[in-house]
A = this chain, B = another copy of it.
Amino acid sequence: MEDKSLGIVETKNFTFAEPPNEFELESGEKLGPITVAFETYGELNKEKSNAILITHAFSGDAHAAGYHEGDKKPGWWNSMIGPGKAFDTDKYYVICSNVLGGCSGTTGPSSINPETGKPYGLDFPLISINDMVNVQNKLLESLNIEKLLTVTGGSMGGMQALSWLAKHPNKIKSTIIIASAIKHSPQQIAFDEVGRVSIISDPEWNQGDYYGKEHPARGLALARMVGHITYMSDKSMMEKFGRRIRNVGERHKFNTGFEIENYLHYRGSSFVERFDANSYLYITKAIDCYDASEGKNLSEILHGVKAKVMVLAFKSDWLYPKYQSKEIVKACKVAGIDTTSCEIESTYGHDAFLLEIKEETQLVKHFLEKVVQAD
C-alpha cells in the first residue's frame, strides 16, 4: 500500500492537427487529427519552471501515477511520482502522455481514420521516436510550457528523453535517461522481430485488419511472453520461480506446469486484454529504427547542448546492457555536457527501472535539486 499516493487521477485528452493542418511526420507523411491522452500531477508554478515530462516505455501509457476511479492498482510509476517521492508533486508539475502509435488514448493504428470512418490498421503511417517527441512538444505548447525542468523515462522512454536532448535541447533544462540506448543492437532488434513475426504469423492478424473481429490474441500473447523473458534476469527468475511446479490444468501433453511457464502464459494473456497488436508492430519498429546518432557520432549531434544529463543503468539488465548506457554517457561528456551517471545494483534485469525505487529515488532527488539550483 502506497502511503503517499496522489489519490484519484484522471486521463485528459488534447487534440490537434485537425485537417487540413495535419501534423508532418519525420517520414514526410501527414497525420491528423491527433489526440493525445495525458495525465498531470501537481501544480504548474507561476514561472512555469517546474514541469517534468515522464516518457513511458514500450507498453506503458499516460497513467503513470495515482489511481483511476475504482482501480486497485495505481499507475505504472506510482512509486516514483507523488508527494515526497522522487518526482515530488508538492514541488513539481508532472506530465505523462501516451505515445503516438499507442493504444491507450493517443492516436494509433486502432484509432478511427477520418478518411474511412474505420480504424486505421495498416493505413496508419510508420512513426518514429522523434515523431512521438514532436507530438509531446505540441502537448506542452498547449499547456503553455516553454521549458521542461526535466524529461525522463526508462527503456523506450529513455530513447524519447534522448530525442528531447538531441532534437529540442533548448526546451529542456535536463534529462534523466534510464536503462536505454542510443540505438538498438541487433540482439534487441532480433527479439522485437520475433515478437512481430509472432503477431503477423497469427492468421487472425489478417494484415492488420482485425478490428471488430477476432484479434490476433495468440500471436500477441506469444510476443509478450518473449518480451517478459527479456525484461527479467536469469537470477530474478531463479529467485521468483526456481524449478517449482504448480500445475494449473492440462493445456497440452507438454504442460509440466513449471511456475515460470504459467507465469509467462499469465503475462501473455493479460497483455492481450490491454494492448493492440498493431500498436505492438508500429512501436517496436519505431524503437528498432531509432538511432539518436543518425549514423554519426552522437557527440557531434549533442555539441553545444546546455542541458544537464543523468544516465542510469542496472547491473542485471541484459536487454539494455550497461555498455549502452556508457555509450550515452561518453557521447554526452565528449560533447561537453554536464553529465552524471550511475550503475545500480539489481537482480531485476530490465524491469529494475520500475522496481529499484530506493536508489533511483535518491539519485533523481539529488539530480533535480542540482538542476533547480543551477537556475
| Residues in A lying within 8 Å of B, measured CB to CB | 122, 126, 183-187, 189-191, 193-194, 196-198, 200-203, 208, 218-219, 222, 225-226, 229, 232-234, 237-238, 240-243, 252-254, 256, 258-261, 264-265, 281-282, 285, 288-289, 291, 318, 321
Contact in complex: A260, B202 (CB < 8 Å):
no
A189/B234 contact (C-beta < 8 A), A126-B253, A196-B254, A201-B218 known:
no
A188 CB to nearest B CB, Å: 9
A194/B229 contact (C-beta < 8 A), A186-B237, A186-B258, A189-B260 known:
yes
Contact in complex: B252, A190 (CB < 8 Å):
no
Contact in complex: A285, B260 (CB < 8 Å):
no
Task: Point out the residues of chain B lying under 8 angstroms from A185, CB to CB.
Answer: 234, 237-238, 243
Contact in complex: A229, B191 (CB < 8 Å):
yes
Task: Point out the residues of chain B lying under 8 angstroms from A208, CB to CB.
Answer: 253
Contact in complex: B288, A258 (CB < 8 Å):
yes
CA separation between A232 and B184, bound complex, in Å? 16
Total copies of this chain within the assembly: 2
Contact in complex: A254, B186 (CB < 8 Å):
no
Residue of B nearest to A219 (CB): B201
CA separation between A186 and B237, bound complex, in Å? 6
A254/B201 contact (C-beta < 8 A), A225-B194, A264-B193 known:
no
Q: Which of B190, B198, B218, B258 contacts A260 (CB 8 A)?
A: B190
Contact in complex: A258, B222 (CB < 8 Å):
no
Contact in complex: B186, A238 (CB < 8 Å):
yes
A256/B288 contact (C-beta < 8 A), A183-B243, A242-B186 known:
yes
CA separation between A317 and B253, bound complex, in Å? 31
Task: Point out the residues of chain B lying under 8 angstroms from A318, CB to CB.
Answer: 234, 318
Given contacts A187-B237, A187-B238, A193-B258, 17 further A-B contacts (CB under 8 A): A184-B243, A185-B238, A186-B243, A187-B229, A189-B261, A194-B226, A194-B229, A194-B264, A197-B222, A201-B218, A201-B222, A208-B253, A234-B318, A253-B281, A254-B281, A254-B282, A256-B285
Task: Point out the residues of chain B lying under 8 angstroms from A198, CB to CB.
Answer: 198, 222
Task: Point out the residues of chain B lying under 8 angstroms from A258, CB to CB.
Answer: 186, 189, 193, 288
A151 CB to nearest B CB, Å: 25
Contact in complex: A285, B237 (CB < 8 Å):
no
A248 CB to nearest B CB, Å: 14
Contact in complex: A186, B222 (CB < 8 Å):
no
A237/B190 contact (C-beta < 8 A), A203-B203, A222-B198 known:
yes
Task: Point out the residues of chain B lying under 8 angstroms from A232, CB to CB.
Answer: 187
